[in-house]
Structure 1
Amino acid sequence: MKTKNILSIGIIALAATFASCKKNYLDIVPTDRVPDVAVLADSALLEDYVINRYMSVKLQDKEGEGTNPGFGRGFEYALWSALTDESIYNNDDNTWLVQRGQLAPENTGIAGTIWGRSYRSIRECNYALNHIDSVVMSAGHRTQLRGELHFIRAFRYQDLIRNYGGVVLMGDKVYNLEDNLGDDALFTRASIKQSIDYAVSELDSAIQQLPLANDDSWQLGRATKGAALALKSRLLLYAASPLYNAGTWAAAAAAAKAVMDLGKYSLDADYAKLFLSYTGNEIIFARQYAIGARHVCLEISNGPNGYNGWAGNTPLQNLVDAYQMSNGKDITDPTSGYNAQNPYANRDARFYATILYNGATYRNSTVQIYTPGGKDSKDGPSNWNTTKTGYYLRKFMDDKYPIDNPWNVAGLQPWIYFRYAEVLLNYAEAQNEATGPDGTVYSAINLIRQRAKQPALPAGLSQAQMRDAIRKERQVELAFEEHRFYDVRRWKIADVTENVPAYGVDVTTSGGSYVYTRKVALSGRAFAAKHYWLPIPRTEIQASNNKITQNAGY
């Protein structure tokens, strides 16, 4: 199967760009890698090289186990949600220091690989773009590969920008160890606007060269015109946001509308199932997995301890409280019908698709978080894997896969990078900020709420009220999909949301009924102004002979 070939060639193709450097020191032909001369002599090898740029190398423990990491933290032990008010990672794994505001250039936790991985990937894309015209292939094939390289390069710059702000723009040059690193331009950070403008120009190139769809099954997971337009929509939304202040809301709305106008994407009917397979019309761009491409299986990583799961990314009460009642009212509304001692009744349908709670039906049983005696509490088996928050993750879990010994049979669900619901939310936010809550804003939001069986938003909302409604919608619709960390920062509200304690719940039994008591699940949660951006790792600053400017406050 072609997909397996793509996944297995990763390390070999990745090393091709560095083979020429080795020749300066050893006059030996390596046998463990494909030399660059072979890649540039065979269009099939070059295509494999390009495909493998969707992945990178493992730079940290518990990262990309089994298969190389892709974009973001998908299918890792600790998800990016564990750095936000969505969840905590039960076993820490260098996430708690971020939650507690202890980030430092010398101690970046799980957030320390983005700079190095991104620039490595950019160099690899530059290498291919510099040589692609010399490889014999059809013009159409070359155009598509070039479009993919521009897309991947833009994605890597996006990851740098949203984490560090203004970044070093490498252009098309392929830097080698023997180059003159005294060139200050190599270490000069562009402004945020210059950085975003460059990434958007890369996407504009990709949009012109990429196909509208990849119809062959083995090509799923490769960039399309829709993927490039969706990334442009996200970048321009960020650019217009208060933290960036480097673009206009009108441009962001137009970018999202361009995806909508393709007429290719729509919301899938079942919110829970859309994360389990690469079917339907909602997924725009996602990573595919295949049997034999071993990686961290979400079911065992996050399942309850009573099911022999490891309780990895456990939802916080902070997120649970964000889900409205099924009548569309916030639980803080005294007319909502919310009962603190029956807290999970009549909630937004997305709550049940996202979070396992005490009493939830799961795998022909019932989740028992209560004490004493609950099988999914500290009184159950493997109590070191008991949730610290009183909740377990439900989203992404496929009940067809076993929790026990899932290796080589589970883990086939995709990891979604872009889906149509995000585009609708992008459009609604940008259009509301640009012109106010017009009919198109209502339409975009209500499509999403209708799928969740939530009532339409009330008519007559002010711009500020609509802004609040859109932000709430993003929080629950996109939970655990690596958006919340960036949303609260770009809105400049992280100093509020990330300074709230990491809450959980204790569930006890008394007289045959449950008692729910709020608690702090992780102590010391803190956020300072400097945390709006990540620190550039100290090793990267030192490697530049201290020429790269560190972010303020570090």
Structure 2
Amino acid sequence: MKSTKGLRSSLYISLLAVSIASCKNDFLDVTPTDRVTDAAIVGDSTLFESFVINRYLGARITDKEAEGTLPGFGRGFEYAMWSSLTDESLYNNDDNTWLVQRGQLSPENTGIAGTLWSRSYRSIREVNYALANVDKVQMSAAHKDRLIAELKFIRAFRYHDLIRNYGGVPLIGDKVYNLEDDFSDPALYKRATITECINYAVSQLDEAAAVLPLANSTSWLNGRATKGAALALKSRLLLYAASPLYNSGSWEQAAAAAKAVMDLNRYGLHSNYQNLFINPGNSNEVIFARYYTIGSRHVPMEIANGPNGYDGWGGNLPMQNLVDAYETTAGLSITDPASGYDPQNPYANRDPRLTATVLYNGAPYRGRNLETFVPGGQDSKDGPSNWNTSKTGYYLRKFVDESMPINNPWNVAGLQPWIYFRYAEILLNYAEAQNEAVGPDQTVYAAINAIRGRTGVSLPALPAGLTKEQMRQRIIRERQVELAFEEHRFYDVRRWKIADVTENVPVYGITITKQANGTLRYERKIALEGRAFLPQHYWLPIPRAEIQASNNQLVQNPNY
């Protein structure tokens, strides 16, 4: 039996020009003018390399509601971010995020997470196509080996995205599926175990790392994989594998994988934390990044997330839940009586990464200080564009470039990176894995203190004598603030199996009232009730359309 029922999804969504070019009917035997043929791709080394490079970009999105919301290689990140599915931020205008926050995920309604499955398998199919045809292309053996290594890296990245969202998934090997294939075989839909999936992706990364260069030779190659990128992805995968949710690897393996990146001696910590996410230049903290530019267009983070007082749209609004995680400059939690924290002057003497990440009342921005107080604050409900007023009292600072305009920004030249892997993550990976493997030895302290002590942050070193559990809690907090808004928190709280705690509390914000004498009164508030997290939410549901496309042979995640 042959079926085309699921061609628009999962394994078969990407038919490329191959299926079109192979059509035998005379009335369809025309030369398409809107695509490059299969013969042209394999017959021209430049076109083939362009095909490989485009696999970094991922599938183009035509659904306007989904555009700009997807994590991974193809995501334009200025609209609803993955942070707005966690306790980091609330998206001001929903944008298909609130159902996740409220625990209403279902196979029929997956919100902004709905295209992850199909777009990942589409990319895997495209990689398999390139690998199946690379030997037909006229180019040097060394060049061919480099492209094969890049393709294996991209395929491993796509599986990593599937694993961390769904758990064990079907592994399709090198198969390139086409319209004429038989899709009725149950083995096609058999989900491998998490361990099998991790092992497969890691094997691909080991093969890629053995061939990829330590660095790209010219600036235009900076967005392509290197040995460090492959090892960094391996580090993340093995850290996840060892974590409680996965329970499919050892902490010793995870520590060794992170140490392999450290031992390359190519990476360090950028001296300006805020600037790293706007214009890192050739920073040695960046291991692998996507450099966003479409022609002369920059990514308009500024209007999408800007305060309403500047006619911004609000966008991804930091929660008080996140703001409270930043220590004081004494290196202590704000709940510690010795920290010096003043709830009526809450942003004074705080971890400098707070100022670099969150716009709060009084923070300098575009020539004035932010005003979220009422009455009369320019960035409050009393200001212009008040329908975009922050529901939490905060706006996003990270990734936002003040040199870029807020109004009519789309045709302005600029370059903003999305950093997939940076050295701070590797240090945090190592510290966590090493602490779990052997306890808080000096190498754990060194990794964490390097991040806390970097230029511009300069927080006190961690106190000596911490237990393994105490160090674990410090690392959890350090990841929360250091990696805020970088799409780690969603996966971290799940792999640690603490999401049933962190995601079952309300969205908190701040209300600031300007009193008659001009002083400000700060009061914590609930900005959104109804956040909910159920046990099944540790994994995303496979969209119902994908289950149906498999003739119900694909097994859904439990309790959906």
TM range (shorter): over 0.9
SS at match of 1:414: strand
Tell me how far apart the structure 2 counterparts of residues 29 and 342 of structure 1 sit (CA, whole Å): 68
Q: Superposition pairs for residues 22-37 of structure 1, below 5 Å?
A: 22=23, 26-37=28-39
**Cα displacement (A) at 1:71:** 2.2
> CA distance change for structure 1 residues 335 and 388 in 2, over 3 Å: closer, same or farther?
same
CA displacement, residues 329-369 of structure 1 (integer Å, 9 cap, x when unaligned): 00000111111111110000100100000111111111000
Q: Superposition pairs for residues 138-287 of structure 1, below 5 Å?
A: 138-277=140-279, 278-287=281-290
Alignment partner of 1:542 is 2:548? yes
**Cα displacement (A) at 1:19:** 3.2
Quick one: which amino acid aligns to residue 169 of structure 1?
L
**Cα displacement (A) at 1:292:** 2.1
**Cα displacement (A) at 1:522:** 1.7
Taking structure 2 as the reference length, the TM-score comes to 0.94
- Structure 1: which 5+ runs fail to align? 1-12
Among 321, 325, 329, which residue is 2:324 paired with? 321
Tell me how far apart the structure 2 counterparts of residues 177 and 57 of structure 1 sit (CA, whole Å): 21
The equivalent of 2:494 in structure 1 is 489
CA contact (8 A) 1:19 1:36 kept: no
Tell me how far apart the structure 2 counterparts of residues 224 and 539 of structure 1 sit (CA, whole Å): 36
Tell me how far apart the structure 2 counterparts of residues 501 and 73 of structure 1 sit (CA, whole Å): 28
Quick one: which amino acid aligns to residue 554 of structure 2?
I
CA contact (8 A) 2:70 2:113 kept: no
Quick one: which amino acid aligns to residue 167 of structure 1?
V
Judge which range, 179-188 or 529-538, deviates more: 179-188
The equivalent of 2:446 in structure 1 is 443
Pairs aligned (count): 541
> CA distance change for structure 1 residues 397 and 17 in 2, over 3 Å: closer, same or farther?
farther
The equivalent of 2:4 in structure 1 is none
Tell me how far apart the structure 2 counterparts of residues 47 and 70 of structure 1 sit (CA, whole Å): 21
Alignment partner of 1:366 is 2:369? yes
CA displacement, residues 137-196 of structure 1 (integer Å, 9 cap, x when unaligned): 011110110011000000000000000000000100001121111111110000000011
Alignment partner of 1:408 is 2:411? yes
CA contact (8 A) 2:223 2:291 kept: yes
Tell me how far apart the structure 1 counterparts of residues 544 and 296 of structure 2 sit (CA, whole Å): 34
> CA distance change for structure 1 residues 75 and 243 in 2, over 3 Å: closer, same or farther?
same
Quick one: which amino acid aligns to residue 422 of structure 1?
E
Q: Superposition pairs for residues 313-392 of structure 1, below 5 Å?
A: 313-392=316-395
Identity %: 69
**Cα displacement (A) at 1:414:** 0.6
SS at match of 1:136: coil
SS at match of 1:358: coil
Tell me how far apart the structure 1 counterparts of residues 322 and 288 of structure 2 sit (CA, whole Å): 26
> CA distance change for structure 1 residues 167 and 411 in 2, over 3 Å: closer, same or farther?
farther
CA contact (8 A) 2:209 2:231 kept: yes
The equivalent of 1:477 in structure 2 is 482
The equivalent of 1:8 in structure 2 is none
Among 459, 464, 472, which residue is 1:459 paired with? 464
Q: CA RMSD in A?
A: 1.7
SS at match of 2:453: helix
CA displacement, residues 299-357 of structure 1 (integer Å, 9 cap, x when unaligned): 11111011121110010000000000011000000111111111110000100100000
Tell me how far apart the structure 1 counterparts of residues 332 and 312 of structure 2 sit (CA, whole Å): 34
**Cα displacement (A) at 1:294:** 3.8
Tell me how far apart the structure 2 counterparts of residues 241 and 364 of structure 1 sit (CA, whole Å): 45
> CA distance change for structure 1 residues 332 and 17 in 2, over 3 Å: closer, same or farther?
farther
Alignment partner of 1:312 is 2:315? yes
Alignment partner of 1:299 is 2:302? yes
> CA distance change for structure 1 residues 250 and 70 in 2, over 3 Å: closer, same or farther?
closer
The equivalent of 1:80 in structure 2 is 82
Alignment partner of 1:512 is 2:512? no
Among 80, 102, 105, which residue is 1:103 paired with? 105
CA displacement, residues 92-118 of structure 1 (integer Å, 9 cap, x when unaligned): 010000000000000000011100000
CA contact (8 A) 1:73 1:79 kept: no
CA contact (8 A) 1:314 1:391 kept: yes
**Cα displacement (A) at 1:290:** 3.0
> CA distance change for structure 1 residues 225 and 424 in 2, over 3 Å: closer, same or farther?
same
**Cα displacement (A) at 1:276:** 1.4
